[in-house]
Amino acid sequence: MKSNMRSNSHSKLMSGMTMAMLFEKTSTRTRVSFEVAASQFGGHALFLAPGDSQLSRGEPLSDTARVLSRMADLIVMRTSSQERLLTVASNSGVPVINAMSNEFHPCQLLADIFTFIEKRGSIRNANVAWIGDGNNVCHSWIHAASQFDFNLRIASPKGYSPNHEILNASCGRAHIIEDITAAVRGCDVVVTDTWFSIGQENDKTERKKAFSDYSVTAELMSVADPNALFMHCLPAYRGNEVTADVIDGLQSVVWDEAENRLHTQKALIEFLLQDKDK
């Protein structure tokens, strides 16, 4: 997918097809990458914000899903509750992609894992350090650790650790490590995310205090492997979860991560649609 983009040669996989995008949360990279993907595949992306449909007037989500799946070929949903996503999936006759829920962000992990492979080769048995909030992206990193057989060390403030059921299902690949330096020491990747996820803006003062010792600095990166990569799903807030010299430094691959959202999501769309007419 990435090579074809560079050579201006695009498949017409979605020619005559429509992708319905039901987004109940704001987005930059996710929305743009999915819309560009549909365009490059020769298809059409139909974007529905919260106020753009009858959902805003109380139509059951299950009914909306049934209608959309009778007209569109693919549904992409960004929502708060995982249950809402599952409701759409269970009532849809076409594939449904999780474009982010409060619990998980799997499309981000497709891009992150691909970025590591692109830069360093197989991620199997690599050591990854997650620094900060045990949020939806962290949960997807836990899933990835068991899926791709690498070790995930998670350093979070007390009260902000990832869901323990998700952690316990990692087949022993993900672990909580209280000491942030110990979590990073010798690792191959250092990953962080904003301290203020979508919907948590009102808790900024409390969260900033809780996470004040969980910033990825050049000093912290110095204890990782010399070839360690720095990742961040963006948006980033320099001076909070990461310092400017790290995110803008030579070890940072955040811009490759962001671009790779497009390529990995195109691969996902192809995987879901390639047998549609067979």
Q: Which residues are catalytic?
A: 78, 105, 108, 193, 233, 261
CA distance 67 to 62: 9
Longest CA pairwise span in the chain (Å): 56
Contact 69/246 with Cβ under 8 angstroms? Answer: no
CA distance 135 to 133: 5
CA distance 125 to 252: 21
CA distance 105 to 226: 29
Token pair in block for residue 97: 């992609």
| Contacts for 66 with CB less than 8 Å, ≥ 6 apart | 91, 92, 93
Task: Tell me the β-bridge partners of 242.
Answer: 216, 238
CA distance 278 to 58: 37
Strand segments (E) across 141-278: 151-155, 174-176, 189-192, 229-232
| Closest C-alpha to 101, from 24, 160, 36, 159 | 24
